[in-house]
Structure 1
Amino acid sequence: MKYDDASWHYGGDYPAGLPEKNAYTHTGVFLAWALVHGMVGEVHNFERPEDVQAVKSKLKTGGQFLADNCDGKFTDEDLNDIGNKFASEFYENEYFSVYVEAVDPEEKYETIYHVPDTWETYDKVAPVISKHFEMWSQSNT
């Protein structure tokens, strides 16, 4: 199952002149959160565990991981069972609006794609994802 694909964003109504890599940020934040919280899929543990560790150590952003290891595609292979159960509900239904509210509550960015792929962006969103995961866990695990 494919949850997201950067090409869906930069291939559509995307701001002119903005690098395609900016379409990786929102998905990368969620994927980094999942990796940091031990929800990585086996494919990443076997193929490039050093890249998973680079995200956990904040040496590589989630957007960079998504570009380098997933070709911009976020699929069920990227997560373990718990991660997929959570993503199939939260990422599919609520994540994008939660992300927008967390990273740009004052609407200072021209578009959501102008939000930088940084650990500061992650730090704004990760606690909100964690809160949703805790609520989800209470009724799903």
Structure 2
Amino acid sequence: MKYDDASWHYGGEFPADLTGEAGATHTGMYVAWALLSGLSGDIHITDFPEDIPKLKDRAVTPGAFFLSACDGKFTDEDLSDEGNAFTAHYFNFDSGQYLADYERTLGQGLPDGPNSLYYVTDSWENFDKLKPVLDRRLSEWRANAG
């Protein structure tokens, strides 16, 4: 199952003054957090052993990692069973809470408009702001899932 694909974000009303990489930031932040939080599937560990250390060492930003290591595609193969169960609940664009948390945490001071979240900078500083929110959501989910 494909959760997201950076290419889905480049068309339509995507801001003309941004590069396509900006369409990967929101998912890159989530994927990086999931992998660094132990929710990864075996595919990243066995098929891309050089990419995870770059992420852990912060030698690459979350969005850049997502584009290079995942080819801009976020699928169920990227995650463990627990990671997929949580992601289906939380990351789901239709019923999940991820984008609302992302906007509340990183959306201040961005240009106005329906696509303003594409202006969030792909940086470890922003990741560090979002990580505690994601950690808390995972803890809450774990407490209620059992």
- What band does the TM-score fall into relative to the shorter chain? over 0.9
Where 1:38 maps in the other structure, the secondary structure is coil
Q: How much has 1:7 moved relative to structure 2?
A: 1.3
Contact 1:35 1:55 in 2 (8 A): no
Instruction: Give the whole-Å Cα distance in 1 for the aligned partners of 2:50 and 2:139.
Output: 28
Q: How much has 1:48 moved relative to structure 2?
A: 1.1
Q: More helix per residue: 1 or 2?
A: 1
Contact 1:35 1:56 in 2 (8 A): no
Structure 2 stretches lacking a partner, 5+ long: none
Q: How much has 1:86 moved relative to structure 2?
A: 0.4
Counterpart residue number, 1:53? 53
Counterpart residue number, 2:100? 97
Listed as ranges, the matches of 1:73-92 within 5 Å are 73-92=73-92
Q: How much has 1:35 moved relative to structure 2?
A: 1.1
Match of 1:139 among 127, 131, 144: 144
Instruction: Give the whole-Å Cα distance in 2 for the aligned partners of 1:94 and 1:42.
Output: 26
TM-score when scaled to structure 1?
0.94
Q: Which deviates the most, 82-91 or 58-67?
A: 58-67
Instruction: Give the whole-Å Cα distance in 1 for the aligned partners of 2:118 and 2:126.
Output: 12
TM-score when scaled to structure 2?
0.90
Counterpart residue number, 1:109? 110
RMSD between superposed Cα atoms in Å: 1.1
Counterpart residue number, 1:15? 15
Instruction: Give the whole-Å Cα distance in 1 for the aligned partners of 2:2 and 2:84.
Output: 11
Q: How much has 1:17 moved relative to structure 2?
A: 2.5
Instruction: Give the whole-Å Cα distance in 1 for the aligned partners of 2:84 and 2:53.
Output: 20
- Report how many residues are paired: 139
